[in-house]
């Protein structure tokens, strides 16, 4: 089986609808695909319908945006949680509201130097989507301010940019605990992706494990080889799941569906651990 446990639709920062993402996964020869939009589960229903049409196995999930006390961005993948869990819903709602306010403030700053407006950004946002920097980046591309989304992130939308605005996000250990309370399986996304920015130290990873972390996303294009070796040692020491995935965003990133995959054994363990919701078959 070919199992890809990390992909995004236009409910967050992907470029394809949930249904189109399912069709792309089937066309890529995948047997199992996880939908893990940022801080959102609004795509689950449409993805479920299309996955069943295609006889594709769907893992409903979400990617929770987190931040440490020192300001390091961390992402926690949540698989098969209860999408109606009050505590997790409240925390995700707080994060979504903060991301919206942050995006509006960043656009205000950019508008002082470039021909961008909030109305322009909203043209790039699908119904129910979590608005964030990718939508600003796509707007800048459309306005010919930059050539690609990646260029926008590397420069104007980076934490080093004068247009940068911070926003609230839960501590990763708190997010892990909430996912477990919601019956989900929390997995640390691309833990050593140093090319994206600062990465957490072993103490923070230890806090996440103590809070109930169940897996590490090791096979990911942004984890360097030496980092993957250390992650394998940590996974073995704590009996954690080892997952692999593409982190696909459609045309928003160069990542391709199925470029990294998860073993059938690890997928079976993940499914057994979940109590919040079920795999769609």
Could you tell me the pTM of the whole model? 0.90
CB contact set of 208 (below 8 Å; sequence gap of 6+): 76, 172, 173, 176, 186, 188
Report pLDDT for 267: 98
Report pLDDT for 131: 84
pLDDT, tens digit (0-9, with 9 covering 90-100), for 192-209: 998 887 899 999 999 999
Strand ranges, E, within the chain: 3-4, 32-35, 57-67, 73-79, 185-188, 215-219, 241-244
* End-to-end Cα separation, the chain, in angstroms: 14
Read off the DSSP letter of residue 27. Answer: H
Q: Let me know the angle formed at the C-alpha of 239 by 179 and 172, rounded to the nearest 5 degrees.
A: 30
Residues in the chain predicted with pLDDT less than 70, given as ranges, are: none
**SS3 assignment for 208-260:** HHHHCCCEEEEECCCCCHHHHHHHHHHHHHHCCEEEECCCECHHHCCCCCCCC
Residue 126 β-bridge partners:
none
* 3-93+167-273: CATH topology: TIM Barrel (3.20.20)
221-241 core/surface letters (b: 16 or more CB in 10 A; e: else): bbbeeebbeebeebbeeeebb
Report pLDDT for 197: 79
Give the domain ranges of the chain: 3-93+167-273
pLDDT, tens digit (0-9, with 9 covering 90-100), for 233-264: 999 999 999 999 999 999 988 999 999 999 99
């Amino acid at each position: 089986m070919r199992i890809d446990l990390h992909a995004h639709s236009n409910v967050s920062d992907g470029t394809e609808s949930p249904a189109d993402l399912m069709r792309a996964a089937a066309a890529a020869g995948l047997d199992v695909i996880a939908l893990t939009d940022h801080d959102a589960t609004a795509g689950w229903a449409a993805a479920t319908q299309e996955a069943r049409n295609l006889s594709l196995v769907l893992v409903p999930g979400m990617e929770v945006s987190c931040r440490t006390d020192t300001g390091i961005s961390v992402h926690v993948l949540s698989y098969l949680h209860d999408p109606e869990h009050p505590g997790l819903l409240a925390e995700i709602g707080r994060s979504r509201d903060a991301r919206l306010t942050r995006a509006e403030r960043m656009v205000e700053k950019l508008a002082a130097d470039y021909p961008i407006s909030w109305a322009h950004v909203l043209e790039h946002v699908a119904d129910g989507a979590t608005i964030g920097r990718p939508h600003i980046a796509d707007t800048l591309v459309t306005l010919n301010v930059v050539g690609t989304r990646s260029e926008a992130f590397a420069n104007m939308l980076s934490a080093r940019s004068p247009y940068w605005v911070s926003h609230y996000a839960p501590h990763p250990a708190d997010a892990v605990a909430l996912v477990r309370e919601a019956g989900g399986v929390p997995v640390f996304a691309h833990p050593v992706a140093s090319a994206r920015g600062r990465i957490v130290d072993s103490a923070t990873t230890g806090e996440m494990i103590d809070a109930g972390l169940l897996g590490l996303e090791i096979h990911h294009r942004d984890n360097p080889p030496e980092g993957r070796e250390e992650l394998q040692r940590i996974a073995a020491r704590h009996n954690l799941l080892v997952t692999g995935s593409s982190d696909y965003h459609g045309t928003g990133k160069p990542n391709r569906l199925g470029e990294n995959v998860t073993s059938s054994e690890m997928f079976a363990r993940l499914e057994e651990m979940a109590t919040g919701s079920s795999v769609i078959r």
